[in-house]
Structure formats: C-alpha cells, structure tokens
C-alpha cells in the first residue's frame, strides 16, 4: 500500500495515532510508557497502540499501565547455534508482515521504537511505508537493532553525548532517558518512617533490578555481619528468586537495621532514604540515579549485549559522578568501597554534585516535542 493510500485526506483532522514498539526489559518498557503518558497528557484524545513480543514482560506491564498491546512472535538471536536461530529469518519475515497489517489497520501518524525484539519489524514496516519514525536509545553504547535502523528513521533521541559514532549526526537529539519525575520527589522524613529507619544512622540501598542480581545478592549476604557491626541500615532489593534466602539471612542476625525486600514499590522513598546506592548500571537505573542525585557505586552486569552496562557506568565515572566496581571484583571489593563511601560525607557531596549535573529532568517532554514535530509534518 502506498503512502498516499495509507494517508488519504480526511475532511476533518483526527486525533494523533502513535504506535510504540519494543520491550523485553523494564529498561525498554518504562521509558516507552513514560513517552505514552506524556503524549496522552498533552493530547488526551491521542490513540496509542503498543507492539511487543509475545511471552515478554511488556505483554503484562503495558496493559497494567492502561494501554493496549499487540504481540509479535519474535525473539532475539541466541549467541550459540540453536534450532531457534534457524527459525529466526522466518519469524522476522512473519513479524514484518504482521506489523505491516497493523500499520494499515491502525494508520499511525508516527511510530516510536524503544529497542527490544519487537521494535525491528515494526520500524522496518513503518519506514518502508514512509511513516514518520523515531527511535529512543537508552544506553551509551547503541543497541544492534537501533544501529541497523538508524539510516531509515527520521529522528534518534539519545541519552548521552558522542552518539554520532553510532548514528547519523543530523538525526540526533540529546534528550536523556524518560524517567518518572516523581522518582526524585520523595521526602526523607516520610521515607524513614515508611521503612522504619533510624534518622541518626546511615542508609545503604542495594538494587539489582526487578529480577535481582546474583553478584550483588551474594556479596551483600557475605557483608551482613560488617553492616550490622558498623550500624549501617540496609535496604536490600533482592528480586523474587533470592528473596526467601535473603529473608532467612537477615533474620539470623536479629537486627532491625538489615531489611531484605523482594521488590521496592516506592522507589521514590527508597532513594530519598538512601545515603549511598549500590546498583547495576542499566540505562534506567543510571538515569534515576542522576535525577535523584545519589552517591552511587555501579556494578555493571557482564551478561548484557556489547557490555553496554560497563559503558553506561564509565560515562558517569569519566565525569567523577559515580564509582565503578567490576562484577568479578565485587565479592572482594564492593563492601570495602561502600563502607568507605558511607563514612566520607565530603566524597558523597562531590559525587552528588557531579551526578546531578548529568540529569535530564525534561527528557520525556523533549522526546514528545520531537515526536509532535514529526507528526505535524503529515
């Protein structure tokens, strides 16, 4: 179907229609929902459709956020030879065809890709039809899908400077990552009361993502006696799998200052309570740390494509805005660094100032500005 057929003139303007594609992890899904929320805030009549990958977390998280989603039967290439890899070209072809049918039925004014399996077929189908398209790259090292699509799309919103080494410079807009602005609005007094913490004692927050992080969990478990003896209060987000074990480990010390949490619903209060944060270096986590201005020790996951978490962390370290401990070194070094930083208010203040300078509180607004510019050309 030609662009002229797909966008035949109508007698009256209709509300904007936008497809947002991608997912696979919270680092893709939460920015996508933030973009949708901002678009809907400004254009309440806008019609928004998400496209994800069947079996991935976006198929539940997006409806929970109040949006409709359609799933494609698409998955990534495995890093080893498997039967699934042999089926990959056929799955891509089928997904591109299904995406094309969705475009013809929904007739979007623009398509947004946030990375992840589902964004590739949707953006391929959209750009082949001349539909305005925008991709949002969360990491300091560009993902493969976004690099491959960069010459086809109209706009590329990035979180870091220097991304012209991956993308055409004339298409780049440095926006930062979409983060819920309320994440930085928590009251410390409310936070201390919420978690039952002593205002006279230091608070360490350990977060490994919604699924938890084995290295962080094991290093934290080993450090519990040191934290207890130092009088440090611990908020330890473990993830679902490790949580039962962590509860038993903290309970064995009979110390109120050590709390294991499966998942933290009120991250605004967790950040507000924390003096120091230990975290993985996913794009969303890094953006939240910048926005909240937290002195941080980043332990990048080694199990991600192109080691992009290390590159995210190094982008902060190069600006003296965070500390970095390699995953392999964490068992030996992490809690030496954490306890030293907790005991050094001057260093905490230096890190706080530098990381706040890297925040982009208007990221979501700027991305939607760019999206509206593309749609206004229709």
Tell me how far apart the alpha carbons of residues 7 and 69 are, in angstroms, rounded to a whole number: 23
Q: Of the candidates 337, 359, 334, which has an alpha carbon nearest to the alpha carbon of residue 348? A: 337
To the question of whether residue 146 is assigned a binding role by annotation, the answer is no
Q: Determine if residue 284 is labeled as part of a ligand binding site.
A: yes
66 marked ligand binding residue: no
26 is in an annotated binding site: yes
CA distances in angstroms from 153 to 126, 131, 229, 263, listed in the order given: 9, 9, 56, 37
Q: 68 a known binding residue?
A: no
143 annotated binding-site participant: no
**Alpha carbons 311 and 132: distance in angstroms, whole number:** 30
In the three-class reduction of DSSP (H, G, I as helix; E, B as strand; rest coil), residue 57 is classed as coil
Beta bridge partners of 19: 49, 111
Q: Is 228 annotated as a binding residue?
A: no
Report the alpha-carbon distance of residue 335 to residue 224 in Å, rounded.
Answer: 10
Q: What is the dihedral of CA 251, 257, 259, 264, to 10 degrees?
A: 170
41 is in an annotated binding site: no
Residue 352 marked ligand-binding: no
C-alpha to C-alpha distance for 65 and 293, rounded to whole angstroms? 27
Q: How far is CA 363 from the centre of its chain?
A: 13
139 annotated binding-site participant:
yes
Q: Give yes or no for a contact between 337 and 325, defined as CB atoms under 8 angstroms apart.
A: yes
Nearest to 117 by CA among 52, 38, 64: 52
Is 4 annotated in some ligand binding site? no
DSSP letters for 72-138: E---PPPSS--HHHHHHHHHHHHHHHHHHHHHHHH--SEEEE-SSTTHHHHHHHHHHTT--EEEEE-
Q: Is the separation of the CB atoms in 292 and 121 below 8 Å? A: no
Does 285 carry a binding-site annotation? Answer: yes
- Structural element, H or E, at residue 220: helix 214-230
Chain Cα centroid distance, residue 46: 24
**Is residue 303 annotated as involved in ligand binding?**
no
DSSP 141: S
What residues are designated binding site for UDP-N-acetyl-alpha-D-glucosamine? 25-27, 139, 180, 210, 283-288, 309
What residues are designated binding site? 25-27, 139, 180, 210, 283-288, 309
């Amino acid at each position: 179907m030609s662009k002229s057929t797909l966008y035949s003139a109508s007698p009256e303007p209709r509300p904007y229609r936008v497809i947002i594609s991608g997912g696979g992890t919270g680092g893709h899904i939460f920015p996508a929902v933030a973009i949708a929320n901002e678009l809907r805030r400004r254009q309440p009549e806008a019609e928004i459709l998400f496209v994800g990958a069947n079996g991935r977390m976006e198929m539940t998280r997006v409806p929970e956020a109040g949006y409709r989603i359609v799933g494609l039967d698409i998955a990534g290439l495995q890093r080893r030879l498997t039967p699934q890899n042999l089926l990959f070209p056929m799955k891509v072809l089928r997904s591109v065809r299904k995406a094309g049918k969705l475009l013809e039925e929904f007739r979007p004014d623009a398509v947004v890709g946030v990375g992840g399996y589902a964004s590739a077929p949707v953006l391929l189908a959209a750009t082949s039809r001349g539909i305005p398209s925008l991709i949002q790259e969360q990491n300091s090292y560009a993902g493969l899908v976004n690099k491959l699509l960069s010459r086809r799309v109209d706009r590329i919103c990035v979180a870091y400077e220097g991304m012209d080494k991956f993308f055409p410079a004339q298409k780049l807009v440095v926006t930062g990552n979409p983060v819920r602005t309320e994440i930085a609005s928590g009251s410390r007094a409310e936070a201390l009361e919420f978690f039952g913490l002593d205002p006279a004692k230091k608070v360490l927050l350990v977060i490994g993502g919604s699924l938890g992080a084995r290295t962080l969990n094991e290093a934290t478990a080993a450090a519990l006696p040191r934290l207890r003896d130092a009088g440090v209060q611990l908020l330890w987000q473990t993830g679902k799998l490790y949580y039962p074990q962590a509860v038993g480990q903290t309970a064995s010390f009979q110390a109120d200052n050590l709390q294991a949490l499966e998942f933290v619903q009120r991250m605004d209060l967790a950040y507000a309570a924390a003096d120091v944060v230990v975290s993985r270096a996913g794009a969303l986590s890094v953006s939240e740390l910048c926005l909240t201005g937290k002195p941080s020790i980043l332990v990048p996951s080694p199990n991600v494509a192109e080691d992009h978490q290390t590159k995210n962390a190094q982008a902060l370290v190069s600006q003296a805005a965070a500390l970095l401990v390699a995953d392999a070194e964490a068992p030996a070094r992490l809690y030496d660094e954490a306890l030293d930083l907790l005991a050094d208010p001057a260093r905490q203040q230096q890190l706080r100032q530098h990381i706040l300078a890297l925040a982009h509180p208007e990221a979501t607004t700027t991305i939607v500005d760019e999206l509206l510019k593309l749609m206004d050309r229709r």
